Amino acid sequence: MQNNCAIQMCSITKRFGQVVANDGINLEIRRGEILSLLGENGSGKTTLMNMLAGIYQPDEGEILADGKPIAIRSPKDAYSYGIGMIHQHYKLVDVFTAAQNIVLGLNDEKLDLKTINSKVKRICDRYSFAIAPERKIYDMSVSQKQTVEIVKVLYRGADILILDEPTAVLTPQETEKLFVVLRAMKEDGKAVVIITHKLNEVMELSDEVAVLRKGKYIGRVRTSETNPQQLTDMMVGHSVVLNIDRPEYSDPFPRLTVEDLTCVDHEGVTKLDHVSFTAMGGEILGVAGIAGSGQKELLESITGLYPVKEGSVRFFEENGCETELIGKTPMQIRRTGVGMAFVPEDRLGMGLVGSMGMTGNMMLRSWRSGKGLFLNKKSPEHLAKKVWNDLEVVTPSTSFPVRRMSGGNVQKVLVGREIASRPRILMTAYPVRGLDINTSYTIYNLLTEQKMGGVAVVFVGEDLDVMLELCDRILVLCGGKVSGIVDARNATKEQIGLMMTSVGQRRASDDE
Amino acid sequence: MTNEARTPWVRLAKRDAMDPRKAWAIRLGSILIALLLGMIPVFITGNNPIAAYGTIIKGALGRPIYIKQTVKIAIPLLGCALAIAPCFKMRFWNIGAEGQITAGAIAASYFALYWYQKVPSTLLLLIMFVSAAVAGGIWGLIPAFFKAKWNTNETLFTLMMNYIIIGIVAWLQGGPWEGRKGSQIIPMFDQSARLPEVFGVHIGWIIVLVMVVLMHIYMNFTKHGYEIAVIGDSENTARYAGMNVGRIMMRTMFLSGAISGIVGFIVVSGANHTLYRGVANGVGFTSITVAWLSQLNSFAMIVISMILAILTKGASKLQTELKVPMSISSIVTGILLFCMLSSEFFINYQLIFRQKKSEEVCR
C-alpha cells in the first residue's frame, strides 16, 4: 500500500487573514484510486487542493511526494511533480484553438503543430475523447471545454489529477461520460481526486472519501463501507434531515404570464427564444437548465433590466386586472406596485452594494422614499436590525460592509431585504449557491413560507435533487428555448437532464 | 538545503479590515517617509536637507504675508478637489477639471470685462459666480452625455476637452478680448469685478470652506450622494435599484463642472484679475492628487491642499535663498503621492516573511 502513495500532505494549515481555511490537515493521495474530497462550500476543499496545484503555499505543514518533502511554488512546479488540476472555472483562452490552449505556457519544446496534434490525438484516443485540436474554444460547449482542460493536464504528463467540482456545469449524461473517463484513468494507475459536495456522485464514482468540515479534516472512509447519511453527518457535524418540506398551497392562481418573450444580446445572439409560461401564486416554479441557457436573461428581462425584443409579461391582480411589464424601467415596475422581488445571481455585483453596511443595502429599495433631498436613514436602519435578528445574520454591526461578510450572511441580507418588501412575485437565481447546508435550508424554508403566503416564487437552480424536492413545477430551458415544463412531484432527474440538452417536441405534463 | 526551498522568502496575504486609526497612522507615516526620501534630491544638489525643509516652512508660513500667499495657492486646489470628488466616488474619471475651471473663468471674465459699468459690484460678482458655474457645468456635462449615450471613454474625452477650451482662451487673448492691439493680453478687471478680501485674502477661501461642508453633507446625507456611491460600487446594482445611471452621471458631472467653474471664477476674480490661457495652471491635475490622497474625504482635503500649497510656496523661497531649483517641490510632491498610494497597499495587504520553524515530523 505504501508504494501506492503519490502525495502526502502533513498537518497543512492555511490562513486568510483571520480565517483558517485549512487547519492541520493530513491527506494521502494514492495511485490507482479515485478519492472524493467531500465537504460543504467553504470547508476548505479547494484551498487544500490549490496548495497542491501551486496556487497557494501552506502556512504550516509539508507536502511529500513519494516520501520526499517538496515545495510547490507555482503551477509549473506542480506539473513537474505530475500534479495537474482542473479548476472549476476553466482557464482557457477563448480565441485560441484547443491545441494552442493545450501547449500554452510550455516553452521547453518547439511549437511544432504536427507533433502536438499527434500527441493530443494519442491522448484522446486512449480515453476516447472527441475533440478537434483545431477548434476554437469559443465554439465549444462547456463539456468540450472541460475535455480540453483534461487533455491539457494529461499533455503535461500529469498522473495526479485534481478536478474541482467537475460536474457542476454538466448534464447528467455528460457527467456519466466523464465518470467513464475518470475510471479509465484510475485503471491506468493515475491518482484522481475530485472535489465535490454531491453525495450521489461520491457514492457512484469514488473508492474512498475524505471529508472536510470548516477547514478541519474529519475522516476518511471507503465508499463501499459507508452510506449517504453517514457522509452527510460527517460533512455537517450533526444529523440533518435531507428531506425538504413541500406543503401544498390550496389554491394556486395565475400571477404572471410570460408570452413569446424574446431577447437578443448586443452581439445579436438570441438569448431567449419565444419563452412562454405562467407563474402561479402559491407555487414554486423551478427553472432548470445548463448554465447560460437564458436563465439570467429571463429574470432580468422580467424585472426590466434586460432589453426585450418582443413578447409580453403580464401581471394579474386578484381581481383580474392586468399590468404589462415589458417596456417599463425597473423604477416604473416598482411604481406600478406589482411587488416584484428579485434575488439576482450576482449578489454583490447586482443585488447589493459591497462597500456599504446592512443599512445602506436596505436603502437600495427605499432610497427614494421621503420628500426632499435628504435620505431617510431611520427606517432602513430599523429594517436592517430586523433582518439581522430574524435571519441571524453574523455581522459586527449594521454598518459593517457586506463585502466582508461570509457568503451565507451576504445572501441572508439580500433575501431578507427582498422578502421584507412583501412581494407578490419573488424571483431568485441560484439562491443557495455557495451556502452551507444550514443556511441553504433557511433559504428553502423562507421560499416555502413565501409560497404558502400566496407569493409566486421563481427558483432558478442548478441542483436537480433539490429542485425536485422543493419546487412544484420545473421549467426546463435549453439554449434559450423552453424545452418543457414538468411536474416536480413525478418527474425524474434523467428526464430533466434530457430536456436540458434537447428541446422536446411536446411539453410533458404541461400546466392546465 | 531542502528546507530552504520549501517556502518562498516572502509572500503576500490580504489583510482583514484594519482599524481605521491604524490605517491613518500608516498614511501619516508614509508622509514622513516621503519627506525623508525627498531629502535625497536636495542632498544631491549640494544642500543641507534639514535646512532646506526649514526654508520651505519659513518661506510658506514664516510671515503673515507668506501665509496669505500660501492660502491663495491652496484655495483653488481645495475647491477643485471638492469638484472631482463626486466623480471619482462614482468611478467616473474626470480629468478635465482643468478645462472646466477655464470654462468658468471665461464666462466670469466676459461679465467682468463687459458688464462692470452696467451693474453694481455685488450683483456683478453674483452674475460672474453663476455664469462661471453654468459654463463649467456644461463643459463637464458634454463628456458625461456622450458617456451616457454611447459609452465613450470619459478619461480621454475630458482630457481632450481641456485643450479645446484652452485654445479658445488663446483665441480670445489674441482676438476679440485683446486689450492693447498686439499685446495678446486681456485687460485687467475693473475693481468692481474683483473679489473683496477678508483677513487679507480674497473671500474665495470662505467660499471653498463653505463648499467643504456642503460637499460633505451632499455626499453623506442626500439621495444624490447615495446614488453616486451605489454607482461607484456597481452600476448593475444601481440599475437593479431603479437608478437611471446615465442621468445621474450627467447630473454629477454638471455639478462637478460647476464647482470647477466656480474655482475658475475665484481664480480670475480673486487672484489674477484677468484671464490668460494658463488660468487653470495645472490645478485641475494637482487637485486629483489632493482628492485621492484625502480618500475623497472633504475635510482631509483641507489638510492635503495646505500641505501641497506649503511645498509649492516654500519651494520658491528655496530657489531664491538656497538656489535649489523650484522643481524640487514637484519632486517632493511626486514622492509624496507615490508613498501615500503605496501605503494603501500596506493597509490592504501584509507581507509574510519566511520564518524558521521547528521541524515538524509527519506522523
| Shortest Cα–Cα distance, B160 to chain A (Å) | 29
Residue of A nearest to B236 (CA): A350
B142-154: average pLDDT: 94
ipTM above 0.85, yes or no: no
B340 residue type, one letter: M
A348-365: average pLDDT: 92
Confidence class for position B354, pLDDT limits 50, 70, 90: low
Residues B193-216: tens digit of each pLDDT: 999 888 888 899 999 999 999 999
Residue A315 pLDDT > 50, yes or no? yes
CB contact under 8 A, A373 and B223: yes
User: Which residues, at least 6 apart from A183, have a Cβ–Cβ distance to it below 8 Å?
Assistant: A34, A205
Q: Would you state the pLDDT for residue B120?
A: 92
Residue A509 pLDDT > 80, yes or no? no
Residue A422 pLDDT > 80, yes or no? yes
B246 residue type, one letter: G
Instruction: Give Rg (Cα) of chain B.
Output: 24
Residue A126 pLDDT > 60, yes or no? yes
- Would you say A12 and A61 are in contact if contact means Cβ atoms under 8 Å apart? yes
DSSP-based helix, strand, coil % in chain B, nearest 5: 70, 5, 25
- For residues A287-309, one letter each, b for 16 or more C-beta atoms within 10 angstroms of the residue's C-beta and e for the rest, the string is bbbbeebbbbbbbbbbbbbbebe
CB contact under 8 A, B240 and A17: no
Residue B46 C-alpha cell reads as: 549640494
Q: Would you state the pLDDT for residue B355?
A: 59
Beta bridge partners of A192: A34, A161
Phi, psi for B35 (deg, rounded to 5): -65, -35
Kindly report which listed range (A96-100, A494-498, B307-311) carries the lowest average pLDDT score: A494-498
The shortest CB-CB distance from A355 to any of B7, B233, B236 is to B233
Q: Would you state the pLDDT for residue B49?
A: 83
Phi, psi for B153 (deg, rounded to 5): -80, 115
Q: What is the dihedral of CA B327, B333, B337, B343, to 10 degrees?
A: 130
Q: What percent of chain B has pLDDT over 90?
A: 55
Residue B147 pLDDT > 70, yes or no? yes
Kindly report which listed range (A82-86, A455-459, A506-510) carries the lowest average pLDDT score: A506-510
Contacts of B363 in chain A (CB under 8 A): 10, 26
DSSP-based helix, strand, coil % in chain A, nearest 5: 35, 25, 40
B222 touches chain A (CB under 8 A): yes
Confidence class for position B359, pLDDT limits 50, 70, 90: very low
Residues B260-277: tens digit of each pLDDT: 999 999 999 999 999 998
Confidence class for position B358, pLDDT limits 50, 70, 90: very low
Residue A435 pLDDT > 60, yes or no? yes
CATH superfamily label, A2-236? P-loop containing nucleotide triphosphate hydrolases (3.40.50.300)
CA–CA distances in Å: residue A247 to residues A233, A431, A432: 26, 20, 20
CA-CA distance, B307 to B321, in Å (whole number)?
21
Beta bridge partners of A429: A460
Interior angle at CA B94, CA B88 and CA B97, nearest 5: 115
Residues A258-281: tens digit of each pLDDT: 999 999 888 778 889 999 999 999
Q: Up-side HSE of residue B32: CA atoms within 13 Å toward CB?
A: 6
Residue A341 C-alpha cell reads as: 422581488
| Shortest Cα–Cα distance, A10 to chain B (Å) | 6
Contacts of B244 in chain A (CB under 8 A): 329, 331
Q: What percent of chain B has pLDDT over 70?
A: 93
| Shortest Cα–Cα distance, A286 to chain B (Å) | 22
CB contact under 8 A, B11 and A57: yes
Residue B155 C-alpha cell reads as: 478619461
Residue A502 pLDDT > 50, yes or no? yes
Greater model confidence, A148 or A510: A148
Could you tell me the residue ranges of all domains in chain A? 2-236
CB contact under 8 A, B7 and A354: no
Kindly report which listed range (A67-71, A361-365, A496-500, B296-300) carries the lowest average pLDDT score: A496-500
Q: Would you state the pLDDT for residue A464?
A: 82
Note every long-range contact of A262-269, with CB atoms under 8 Å and residues 24 or more positions apart, other chains counting.
A262/A308, A262/A309, A262/A310, A262/A311, A263/A294, A263/A297, A263/A301, A263/A306, A263/A307, A263/A308, A263/A309, A263/A480, A264/A307, A264/A309, A265/A297
pTM exceeds cut of 0.80:
no
Kindly report which listed range (A2-11, A214-223, A376-385, B143-152) carries the lowest average pLDDT score: A2-11
Q: Would you state the pLDDT for residue A3?
A: 59
Beta bridge partners of A208: A35, A222
Could you tell me whether strands B197-198 and B201-202 are parallel, antiparallel, or unpaired per DSSP bridges? antiparallel
The shortest CB-CB distance from B7 to any of A71, A329, A331 is to A71
Give burial (CB, 10 Å; 0-12/13-18/19+) of B230.
buried
Kindly report which listed range (A352-366, B48-62, B123-137) carries the lowest average pLDDT score: B48-62
CB contact under 8 A, A350 and B242: no
